[in-house]
Amino acid sequence: MRAAPFLLLALASMPCTAIAQDHRHEAHSAGDMATSAPSQSHAETTTADGGAIDHDAMDHGAMNHAGMDHAAMANDAPIPQGPPPPEAFSGPTFAADAFVGPEKMAASRASVVRAVSGMPVFWFQADRAEYRAREGRDGYLWDVQAYYGGDIDKLWLKSEGEGSFGEPVESAEVQGLWSHAIGPWWDLQAGVRQDLTGAERTHAVIGVQGLAPYLFEVDAAAFLSTKGDLTARLEAELDQRITQRLILQPRAELNFAAQDIPELGVGAGLDSAEAGLRLRYEFTREFAPYVGIEQEWKAGRSADYARAAGEDPSVTNYVVGLRFWF
């Protein structure tokens, strides 16, 4: 798959991106700023193109410009940065309070602060909700997420699961996560995952979700179960616009395990891999049916477990589904 090398790249760049986001040289003291910033503005003034103005055509006659020219102005000493004069701090915190009434203004201010500082929003997205045609019984899959919160902190819910028609649900899980922005493009997420099928387990979750360079949507998480099993999952998607509404989306998912988990058919190391390609049409941004193909492989010992259970470790799904959000 063409996505595979990108995925590795995304993986490699992710941690350093997260770290680099908040690095900051502390060398700029307030004093430095006072001298360096004005000198920059000074340089701009002198290099500015004054040619756009026809100075000759201006009526300078009425004024005494004898000693004036632009070069002289620009050569003046830079204007210093500094704190406001003391009188700028005089009087009440909020000028209108004494006239309108402190309580009335406090209530009004609170509602405006909310309104102009990024109100919390609720978002639900079914990234994949699909029918899967394949050898043997056809199946279904859902992969949805929702959040509620502001710019920095959100409550994030995720659920995914799949199965074959006519059989019990094969796997299903829900996650409840606290999500905290740690950089322009990345959220750190931590919380709980509950498996709803098979050997029902609860996991602690820690992960990152966000947008990697080259616009990969990445969701990477590690899970520690109440049985002590450590697993990890890495998902990446990329929207490649063919037209404004027709979008090809390569998708890859890798699952890892730190140990064998025989009762779940999971072997240590790379457990499974998925590579998919979905073509969707956005009737609106919010509503987009798609068709696609997804290949799933069990790897290593997981493949052995699968064969022992009489399952094919490699499955090809032809999918048709709906991506939507609100």
For tokens 């360096």, name the residue: 36
Min separation Cβ 302 and another protein, Å: 34
**Residue number with CB closer to another protein (30 or 309):** 30
Q: What angle do CA 25, 26, 29 make, to 5 degrees?
A: 135
Min separation Cβ 90 and another protein, Å: 4
What residues are paired with 25 via a beta bridge? Answer: none
**Residue number with CB closer to another protein (178 or 297):** 178
User: What's the distance, CA 228 to chain centroid?
Assistant: 30
Task: Dig out the tokens for 21 from the structure.
Answer: 């986001």
User: What's the distance, CA 311 to chain centroid?
Assistant: 36
Determine the Cα–Cα distance for residues 210 and 168; give it in Å rounded to an integer.
Answer: 33
What residues are paired with 144 via a beta bridge? Answer: 126, 159
Min separation Cβ 27 and another protein, Å: 3
**Residue number with CB closer to another protein (80 or 166):** 80
Min separation Cβ 103 and another protein, Å: 10
Task: Dig out the tokens for 130 from the structure.
Answer: 């699909």
**Residue number with CB closer to another protein (36 or 202):** 36
Min separation Cβ 21 and another protein, Å: 7
**Residue number with CB closer to another protein (76 or 167):** 76
Which of 222, 195, 220 lies closest to 206 in space, CA to CA? 222
